Amino acid sequence: MALRALITAGASGIGLAIAKSLAADGTRVHIADVNAQAVKEVTAAHPLITGSVTDISDAQAVKRLFDDVRAQLGGLDILVNNAGLSGPTASVADYDPAAWLSTINVNLNGTFYVTQQAIPLLKESSQGSIIIMSSLAGRFGYPNRSAYSTTKWGLVGFAKTLSLELGPLGITCNTIHPGAVDGPRLMNVFEGRAQVSGKTVQEEVDAALQNQAVKRFIDPQDIAELVKFLCGKHARTISGQSFPIDGDSKATQ
């Protein structure tokens, strides 16, 4: 029987790379994303991928999402909590409280809502796995990105707790901590940093790579392959762990 997976923010970037990689191996995938057009395009292009337009910060919307998951997949073996907001680039002193709450509501509350709804389905699986996408910012402090860093650290504690609660049921839970992932979102981050620092975007790029032993940004497909392993049959005793995939980065900017 094919595995069944739900991926939040699965219509682009890291989430889409994971969705396509799992589907290529025969997994039936359901994606949730706020971008209706992207969901439409992805599901039209990939027969094994279905989707829902969902704002995970809305608890009622998440309940409706799981009505779709049950209807489309009939159960769940893999949950990838990938959705998250980066939030604005600003010091704590200047941080917009509304932006703080928005970031918390998606990154922490949304992950909680999705996971809570998924647990009854995962309990019925013989190979239940939860992946939570943290960040380099969930390992270090992150100047001018306080809400983002706070949530990414919080997700580690959430994953550790889930591992303890669900481990006796055979459900694993791990966090992945990507560094700078190549793509448009990364360049937006560097542009935001440049506006705050007064440096050029290229100077911010060079500074980011200077912190890494391996001088290149992360390929989303590498993250997808790690997800596949952690959700596979040879990782059933790997749980409560944090997996950096960041070129051996030592600090953040």
List the chain residues with pLDDT less than 50: none
Residue 61: its pLDDT value, please?
A: 98
Distance from C-alpha of 92 to C-alpha of 107, rounded to nearest angstrom: 18
pLDDT tens digits, one per residue of 202-237 = 998 888 888 889 988 899 999 999 999 999 999 999
Q: Is residue 120 a contact partner of residue 163, using CB atoms and an 8 Å limit? A: no
User: How many Cα atoms sit within 13 Å of 92 on the Cβ side?
Assistant: 7
Q: Which residue among 95, 113, 142, 148 is the active-site one?
A: 148
| Domain assignments of the chain as residue spans, ordered by start | 4-180+219-245
Token pair listed for 128: 């239940």
User: Which residues, listed in sequence order, are joined to residue 181 by a DSSP beta bridge?
Assistant: 218
Residue 202: its pLDDT value, please?
A: 92
Number of neighbours of residue 89 by Cβ within 10 angstroms: 21
148 is catalytic: yes
DSSP reduced 3-state for 243: strand
Residue 87: its pLDDT value, please?
A: 93
User: Which residues, listed in sequence order, are joined to residue 176 by a DSSP beta bridge?
Assistant: 133, 243
In this prediction the pTM is: 0.92
Strands, DSSP E only, in 62-186? 78-81, 129-133, 172-178
Residue 251: its pLDDT value, please?
A: 67
DSSP reduced 3-state for 8: strand
Rg over CA atoms, the chain: 18
4-180+219-245 architecture in CATH? 3-Layer(aba) Sandwich (3.40)
Residue 176: its pLDDT value, please?
A: 98
